């Protein structure tokens, strides 16, 4: 579901890495259906993804490929073709989670597993979706929602299987971290934002990033998956970086601190706010990097640093999740939509 930046990067990776995945990992995903906002394409024998990519590039929709149906919705596609796994990569919508929420719910209800990079449905309804997946014996994976290609969630989950994680602090949004980094280097907020947009780090409407909502969604996902809390977006106290001035950032820097948009969980309280971080702390990363520190009772602090968002990075995390789903489904190989 969805054939934008992430969906197309995934299709290209599957074309390029198909042989290696089959040889080294023993799995060869077959794409039986694809939907975008204008229509869908499906073939139970497996789509020719090179042709589908070509149609999307030339005509703007997969429905113009030889297996395409103009106007067919993602939901209709789900009712038409069976797949072991649905990859949900439609836009994040924090209003009602749609269309992703319905796609994920309907797929899980039909017993199909789901891999998604769409934060909206998870931020709004993660406890219910996890429960639905469990109830239907399906797998729900979302590695790309936090940390892009860096397996932050899996790392935290592995840690929490042994030790007790008492708290989490993270810089989870590359856009705001880039802006704050450039403000440290002397730019005004508006200049730094414009530069981030020119470099493709910020959306044309950057409000979700700037207001802290993107970080809050990621925090909710981490709270559920790593700490086992039953949280949704409503449980997060959120403050964005709109009020941060260049003077504050400079003044903090002179005291060996950096102002960062920090997402934290402490005593089960979820918070996103601009906060000073010691410059020598491993959490203090610059530019578009992400970092997460897990505060463990016995192991102490464990920090993961890596590139956050990005089409290819997120597509790689989807492949990781697909491999995981395959392991969970005890080797059955069917279609992938
Ligand atoms: N890009 C990243 O670096 C990144 C990183 C992490 C997470 N994510 C998340 O991953 C998801 C996908 O990101 P993206 O960058 O690929 O977004 P995108 O480029 O905007 O692509 C979204 C895709 O969803 C399709 N779509 C919209 N409404 C639909 C509907 N009702 N039914 C079926 N398809 C529909 C769009 O169709 P059209 O092509 O016809 O417009 C488009 O193909 C988002 O939730 C995003 O927040 C992205």
| Strand 335-336 relative to strand 289-296, pairing | unpaired
Q: How far is the CA of 118 from the centre of ligand 1 (A)?
A: 8
Closest ligand 1 atom, CA of 92?
Answer: 45
The reported pLDDT for the residue numbered 308 is 83
Quick one: 141 and 165 in the same domain? no
Say whether both 180 and 255 belong to one domain: yes
Question: In terms of Cα–Cα distance, which of 33, 108, 106, 45 is closest to 72?
Answer: 33
C-alpha angle with apex 319: 147 to 197, nearest 5 degrees?
A: 40
Domain that holds residue 35: 5-149+312-336
Q: Give me ligand 1 centre to Cα 117, in Å.
A: 9
Pocket test of ligand 1: the residue of 12, 34, 35, 36 to mutate, having most ligand atoms within 8 Å of its CB, is: 36
Residues 39 and 101 in one domain: yes
Helix, strand and coil in the chain, % to nearest 5:
45, 20, 35
Question: Which CATH number covers residue 9?
Answer: 3.40.50.720
Counting ligand 1 atoms within 8 A of each CB, the residue from 6, 53, 118, 217 with the most, and so the one to mutate, is 6
Q: Choosing from 23, 64, 109, 218, which is the catalytic residue?
A: 218
Compute and round to an integer the Cα radius of gyration of the chain: 20
Alpha-carbon separation of residue 114 from 61, 66, 143, 231 (angstroms): 23, 26, 11, 20
What does the pLDDT read at residue 86? 98
Looking at the fold, whether 156 and 302 belong to one and the same domain comes out as: yes
> CATH number for the domain including 173?
3.30.360.10
Beta strand pairing call for 30-31 and 335-336 = parallel
DSSP string covering 274-317: EEEEETTSTT---TTEEEEEEEETTTEEEEEEEE---HHHHHHH
Question: Pocket around ligand 1: residues whose beta carbon is below 6 Å from it?
Answer: 1-7, 35-38, 61, 74, 89-92, 99, 117-119, 144, 148, 309-311, 314
Class of residue 117 by CB neighbours under 10 A (exposed 0-12, middle 13-18, buried 19+): buried
Q: 246 with 274, same domain?
A: yes
**How far does residue 100's CA lie from ligand 1's centre (Å)?**
10
- Per-residue pLDDT tens digits of the chain, which is 337 residues long: 999 999 999 999 999 998 888 888 888 899 999 999 999 999 999 999 999 999 999 999 999 999 999 999 999 999 999 999 999 999 999 999 999 999 999 999 999 999 999 999 999 999 999 999 999 999 999 999 999 889 999 999 999 999 999 999 999 999 999 999 999 999 999 999 999 999 988 877 899 999 999 999 999 999 999 999 999 999 999 999 999 999 999 999 999 999 999 999 999 999 999 999 999 999 999 999 999 999 999 999 999 999 888 899 999 999 999 999 998 876 544 455 5
Residues 82 and 99 in one domain: yes
Residue 216 CA to residue 209 CA, distance in Å, equals 10
Residue of 319, 218, 337 lying closest to 9 (CA atoms): 319
> 271 catalytic, yes or no?
no
- Which residue's CA is the nearest one to ligand 1's atom 8? 117
232: CA distance to ligand 1 center in Å? 22
Of 227, 67, 46, 326, nearest to 56 by C-alpha is 67
Q: How far apart are the first and last CA of the chain?
A: 7
């Amino acid at each position: 579901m969805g054939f934008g930046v992430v969906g197309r990067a995934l299709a290209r990776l599957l074309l390029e890495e198909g042989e290696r995945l089959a040889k080294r990992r023993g799995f060869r995903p077959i794409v039986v259906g694809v939907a975008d906002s204008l229509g869908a394409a499906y073939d139970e024998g497996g789509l020719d993804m090179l042709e589908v990519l070509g149609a999307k590039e030339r005509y703007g929709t997969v429905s113009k490929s030889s297996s395409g149906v103009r106007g067919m919705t993602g939901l209709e596609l789900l009712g038409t073709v069976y797949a072991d796994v649905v990859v949900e990569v439609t836009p994040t919508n924090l209003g009602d989670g749609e269309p992703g929420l319905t796609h994920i719910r309907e797929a899980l209800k039909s017993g199909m597993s789901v891999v998604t990079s769409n934060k909206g449905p998870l931020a709004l309804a993660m406890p219910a979706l996890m429960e639905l997946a469990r109830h239907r014996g399906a797998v729900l994976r979302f590695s790309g929602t936090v940390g892009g290609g860096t397996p932050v969630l899996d790392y935290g989950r592995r840690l929490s299987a042994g030790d007790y994680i008492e708290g989490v602090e993270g810089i989870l949004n590359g856009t705001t971290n880039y802006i704050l980094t450039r403000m440290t280097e002397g730019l005004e907020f508006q200049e730094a934002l414009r530069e981030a947009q020119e470099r493709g780090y910020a959306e044309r409407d950057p409000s979700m990033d700037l207001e802290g909502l993107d970080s809050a969604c990621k925090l909710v996902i981490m709270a559920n998956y790593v700490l086992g809390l039953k949280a949704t977006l409503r449980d997060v106290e959120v403050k964005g970086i709109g009020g941060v001035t260049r003077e504050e950032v400079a003044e903090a820097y002179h005291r060996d601190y950096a102002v960062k948009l920090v997402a934290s969980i402490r005593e089960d309280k979820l918070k996103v706010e601009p906060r000073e971080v010691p410059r020598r702390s491993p959490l203090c990363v610059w530019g578009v990097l992400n970092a997460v520190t897990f505060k463990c009772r016995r192991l102490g602090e464990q920090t993961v640093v890596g590139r956050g968002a990005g089409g290819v990075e997120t597509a790689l995390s989807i492949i990781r999740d697909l491999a995981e789903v395959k392991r969970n489904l005890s080797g059955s190989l069917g279609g992938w939509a």
